[in-house]
Structure 1
Amino acid sequence: MLTPDDKPGAGSAVPGDRQVALRFARLTGGFWHGETARCAWLWTLLLAAGVILTVFANVTVNRWNGWFFDALERKDGHSALVAMAVFPLIVLVVAGLGVLILKSRETFQVHWRRWLTAKLVDGWVGERRFFRLGLSGKEPANPEYRIADDVRWATEPIVDFAMGLLSSVITIVMFIEILWEIGGSLSVSWGDSEITIPAYLVLAAILYAVIVTLLVTGVGRHLAGLIALRTDSEAGLRFALMRIRDHGEAIALARTEAGERHAVALSHGVLVLRWLSVIKHRARLTWITNGSSALVPVVPLLLAAPKYLAGEMTLGGVVQVAAAFVAVQNACNWLFDNFMRIAEWLAAARRVNELADALEAVECEPPAQGLVIEDGPHEGLRLEAVTLHDGTGQPLAAEIGFALPAGAMLHITGDAGFAKSALLQAIAGLWQQGEGVIAMPRGARVATVPQHLQLPGISLRQLLQSDRPRPAPEIAAVLRRYGLSTLTSRLDGEDDWNKTLTRGERQRLALARTELGSPEIVLLDEATSALETDAALDLLTELRAALPRAVIIAFGQSPGLAEIASHRIVLRRIRGVAAIVEREGFLEHHAAAALEAS
């Protein structure tokens, strides 16, 4: 399926490159503060020291070239032998600095990526924001792709950029001094007069760099945006393929594979078009890159040739200024050499920023106006005139009200459709659109048992102790009571439990986990739908006995619910809005919704 970001033209209204860089700096700057400050500064300073020392080592190699070739020109065998003896020491130092830079750079990248990934994962998973994002309509496409891949592409290159920029600045200063010192000025005869160009090699190096930089920025100014669109399409294709894997059973049973194949083809088609657009712009840049690569080594030789032929520059001086000119060009053309990587980094950083902004927007959402969850004076659960709206403001349910004492079990049935799910989410604290009051005991823990429990790839012991630690014998006893005695020997094993366990076993495990969590309010969302009636009745009776004071609300027509429930409510849709039309087991009978009377 195509996601919104993958539609042609998507991504045109995006923040500028400068705003993206500044926002990413604010997002990741916390790595140098707090608990990670020591680690961050240690590797930052080691990396900076390695870069600076490497530049000085390169200058030393340049000086050595002048020394060696001047000795060859003078046929000074002693000086040449001394230079040859010194060179292995220089090589050793250069190699050691390379090791230092490699270790400090990659270690820094790993720690920085780990910190940012943990921050985004905490923000996405914590407080159930992954679910709230979907309800809010602010969720960016493929947040899991942004955390897993875009964080890497947004952190690793920027370390290389910082290294390259620092190295370029120092290189320009050091090697321009060599061009100035050895190149000197150039005198050119113009008619009867003579024109002297001071520091002509320095001026030539700067002019050449400016021309190439202007050409690159002019030709490649649209490349960053095109790469961002290409990255979005990559994520869209991945999303379409993951959807087939995640919903394989439903697709196979409904035989809708042709439609899924068409959706994948659409996503891939958009990706191909955007790839071709990037290739076209990169081909234009290649004219400049290849031409400059061939020209740079020749230009300083042509500029130094007149002075060498006139005897004003030695052979060692020619070699030095040629190497210095190339070094200055490489430093000045840092933007030119990294243009593609910068474009790719901006695309990744923009996607990371969008996810961080969406998480902050959800976190800073004002509290729901009208729908209030408050502490009740007694045990139990009370709903007063609860009305729920959808994302567009249209009512889903109206005037839902009831009071349940501690230990009650309410069975909610009817054809209310999505309104029942919204009511469950509202009691769980996830649905915020609406009015009314939901009162429950102070600090009450609410456990929701879904129809399809999705199990993470962790040990069963960790899963069952997610709410509060429990001793191993107690966990084993609970598993046995819920018919999962075969799992007691596998508590510490890790497996893909969603495939290893049947749907019925996962529902049993969900009920066992609920008992171990000892919640005050339990919401069962067709939690026994995969079980036979007798088995479901036994499990619900076990849960009721284990949590005698808990309020249990069961939604849907799952087996065993009607037989054990102490209260019952029927929700019907009246003119598109769900309302209570029937209730049993309550001491006080409230009037049905006003919509029923109409």
Structure 2
Amino acid sequence: MLHLFAPYWGARKRWRAWLLVLLWLAITLGSSWLYVRANELTGELTDALLARRWDVLKKVIWMTIGVGLMVGALGVVRTAIIDLIDLDWRTWLSNHYLEQWFSSNAYYDIDPDGALSNADQHIAEDVRLFANSSVVNISNMINVIVNIVAFTAVLWGLSGTLTIPIGDGSLRIPGYMVYVALLYNLAYLMLVHWVGKRLIVLGMKRQTVEANYRYSAMQVRENAVQIALYGGADNELQRLRRRFAKIRDNVLATVARNAKLEMTRTVYGHLFAVLPTLTALPRYFAGEITMGGVTQAVGAFGQLSASLGYFQESYKSFAMWLALANRLRDFSWAINKAQARPNGFTVARASQDGIHSSVLTLRTPDGDALADVAPLQLAAGSRTLVRGPSGTGKSTLLRTLAGLWQHGAGTVTLPAAARIMFLPQRSYLPSGTFKAAMCYPMMPDQFDDATCRRVLDACGLGGRITSLHTRDNWQQLLSGGEQQRVAFARVLLQRPDFVFLDEATSALDPATEARLYEALINELPDTAIISVAHRTAVAKYHDDIIELVPSAAQAA
């Protein structure tokens, strides 16, 4: 877990977090002292009752009430401090993983590689649970350690020395009740670990199967129209049932394991319930301590056992904590793997007017050959159409020129200050205002409303002019053809130097397709257009054609 702790707690700017930790430690030490004092008052109360000392009894009762109020007040402050540390650490971890996820296109490279599923859940859910589990478990452990030290000292003093006659001599064991408590809880911990260690694996699996189920349900929601058109409701129902069956199996296995763990705790606790009293009786019968002393010794034994028993009582929590740490470790590993993956293409920027390339060898992620592309020279304002049979790498060529493909070999040189836009067959439309969706990835305040309305009209979206500041889930609301027209509106707004169109008009009728290409050519005469399209009518809007043919290795 060190890689999850060190970057945050070792940073110089974490002085506020450390200040909160120091304040929390001071409160913890104060609370521990109050618990020790409360145990002493319990003994004094017992002796006062036995001696019928009503004056002493009233004093002890008021002192006990005061100690209880102080413990409660400190507990409230301590909880608030823990919550603040939890929030600060979660904020840092979220930003840390978000930066890693988006750096060097790791968010794009992880999924195609299949190295990790549900990356979003690692950031949104696992980070939250890990930060909370870490703060709660560590604070509890420190609190437990403080109480162990305090009540070990108390119990050692109350135990005195146990003398065991052996033949003509004797064996003297000072602080014998401490040893009994340690042996009792050590055996308890070993037994709990043996029974409950399977919970770590089950905890990791639960996070995965829950995320897979949510993701499948989200896919149904996002693709409801296509599923309905295919008549795929039964298929999706069975798929979700299979995913949920894995959740059910995991929960049942966890319930069974928890039942075994609880049974172990219950049986062990009842078998040794009288152990504290039995260990204190030798000194009481020897007249070395009063009944109040027995009460204090039993209370100290119980407090020490409760503190030592925290580790076995919290075994499930520790198991889940470790499972979350392992998932975040896997997430970091997947990001590092994606970032460290060798790129067969060299993509550079230089002071030049167009895009130049060497011979480009395009391959699949598995290394299978797609096509060999002759050297390219795409000048500013040029219009190039990429054609070829399916599977020859037309889309892959565009991704390579945009610097998004790593599998293959060759060199691509881009103009130093060139602005490039890539229009896939289905463009991403973020939820929010319609203006924000059409201006993406730039901010909506970078364009005035009048310009946006003019562009919408040019792209055949006049009906959306009044929706500029309407908020909705546009990815779901707009049809495929409307989404493609929004993508063209983005190009007309942002006026890039190069625009790659990957089947960007596949959902449009020929008349609308012609209107959009003509709008690009008329309004952006200096923008180079590189298109992938199957319709022959698109060819008239391009000056050059690149014909891709299967590579010799693929043909063979």
TM-score, scaled to structure 2: 0.91
Contact residue 139 and residue 355 of structure 1 kept, 8 A: no
Structure 1 equivalent of residue 291 of structure 2:
315
Distance 2:484 2:418 in 1: 23
| Cα distance in structure 2, aligned partners of 1:420 and 1:214 | 61
CA, structure 1 residues 495+40, in 2 after alignment: closer, same or farther (shift >3 Å)? farther
- Taking structure 1 as reference, are residues 562 and 269 closer, same or farther at Cα in structure 2, changes over 3 Å only? same
2:53 to 73, 76, 95: 76
- Determine which of 446, 455, 459 is the counterpart of 2:433: 459
State the match for 1:586 in structure 2: none
Contact 1:61 1:90 in 2 (8 A): yes
Partner of 2:80: 103
Match of residue 207 from structure 1: 183
> SS state of the match for residue 531, structure 1?
coil
Distance 1:323 1:418, change over 3 A: farther
Q: Secondary structure at the match of 2:446?
A: coil
**Paired residue secondary structure (1:401):** coil
Instruction: Confirm or deny that 1:27 pairs with 2:1.
Output: no
The 5-angstrom pairing of residues 489-500 of structure 1 reads 489-500=466-477
Please point out which of 525, 528, 549 is paired with 2:502: 525
Q: Which of 186, 201, 220 is equivalent to 1:225?
A: 201
Per-residue CA distance 1:175-226 (angstroms, 9 max, x = gap): 1111122221234456776554322211211111121122122223333223
Partner of 1:378: 352
Opposite residue 298 of structure 1, the aligned amino acid is: V
Range that drifts further, 121-130 or 152-161: 121-130
Q: Which secondary structure does the structure 1 equivalent of 2:83 belong to? A: helix
CA distance in 2, matches of 1:558, 1:90: 84
1:339 aligns with 2:319: no
Cα gap change, 1:35 to 1:555, in 2 (>3 Å): farther
Is 1:114 aligned to 2:91, yes or no? yes
CA deviations 1:399-457 (Å, max 9, x no partner) are 34332221112122332336112111111111112223323211322211122122222
Cα distance in structure 2, aligned partners of 1:238 and 1:176: 49
Deviation at 1:241, TM superposition (A): 3.1
- Residue-by-residue CA offset, 1:312-332 (whole Å, 9 max, x unaligned): 322222221112111111222
User: Which residue of 1 is the match for residue 364 of structure 2?
Assistant: 390
Residues 464-503 of structure 1: pairs in structure 2 closer than 5 A: 464=439, 466-467=441-442, 470-473=446-449, 474-485=451-462, 487-503=464-480
Q: Deviations over 1:20-51 (max 9, x none)?
A: x3xxx213432235585134323333333333
Q: CA distance change for structure 1 residues 372 and 127 in 2, over 3 Å: closer, same or farther? A: closer
SS at match of 2:427: coil
How many residue pairs match? The answer is 553
Question: Counterpart of 1:274?
Answer: 250
Equivalent residue of 2:548, what SS?
strand
CA-CA distance at 1:350 after TM superposition: 0.8
Matches within 5 A, 1:283-302: 283-294=259-270, 298-302=274-278
Amino acid at match of 1:542: A
8 Å Cα contact 2:422-2:499 kept in structure 1: yes
**Counterpart contact for 1:175–1:328, Cα < 8 Å:** yes
Aligned match of 1:546:
523
Residue type at the aligned position of 1:533: P
Q: Deviations over 1:222-244 (max 9, x none)?
A: 33223323333333333333333
Partner residue in 2 for 1:409: 383
Aligned partners of 2:40 and 2:456: how far apart in 1?
76
Percentage of pairs with the same residue: 28
Deviates more, 1:43-52 or 1:156-165: 43-52
Contact 1:507 1:528 in 2 (8 A): yes
Note the alpha carbon deviations across 1:241-296, whole angstroms, 9 max, x for none.
Answer: 33333333333333344443443343334443333333333333223211344356
Structure 1 unaligned residues grouped into runs of 5+: 1-20, 578-594
Contact 1:465 1:516 in 2 (8 A): no
In 1, the alpha carbon distance for the partners of 2:264 and 2:81 equals 33
CA distance in 1, matches of 2:480, 2:219: 20
User: 1:435 and 2:412 equivalent?
Assistant: no
Q: 1:457 to 1:40 in 2, by over 3 A?
A: farther
* Letter of the structure 1 residue corresponding to residue 401 of structure 2: I
Distance 2:216 2:52 in 1: 71
State which drifts further: 474-483 or 158-167: 474-483
- Greater mean deviation of Cα atoms: 405-414 or 220-229: 220-229
Which residue of structure 1 aligns with residue 110 of structure 2? 133
Conserved 8 A contact 2:365-2:407: yes
Gaps of 5+ in 2: none
Look up the SS of the partner of 1:569 in the other structure: strand
Q: Partner of 1:84: helix, strand, or coil?
A: helix
Supply the RMSD in Å over aligned alpha carbons. Answer: 2.7
For residues 561 and 252 of structure 1, the distance between their equivalents in structure 2, rounded to whole angstroms, comes to 31
Q: Alpha carbons of 1:253 and 1:541: their partners in 2 closer, same or farther (altered >3 Å)?
A: same
Amino acid at match of 2:363: H
Native 8 Å contact 1:213 1:336 kept in 2: yes
Per the alignment, residue 585 of structure 1 pairs with: none
Instruction: Return 568-577 or 179-188, whichever deviates more.
Output: 568-577
> Hey, what's the Cα distance between the residues in 2 that align with 1:335 and 1:550?
66
More displaced 10-residue stretch of structure 1: 240-249 or 315-324 = 240-249
Alignment correspondent of 2:28:
51
Among 281, 303, 324, the alignment partner of 2:279 is: 303
Shift of 1:362: 1.8
- In structure 1, what is the equivalent of residue 14 of structure 2? 37
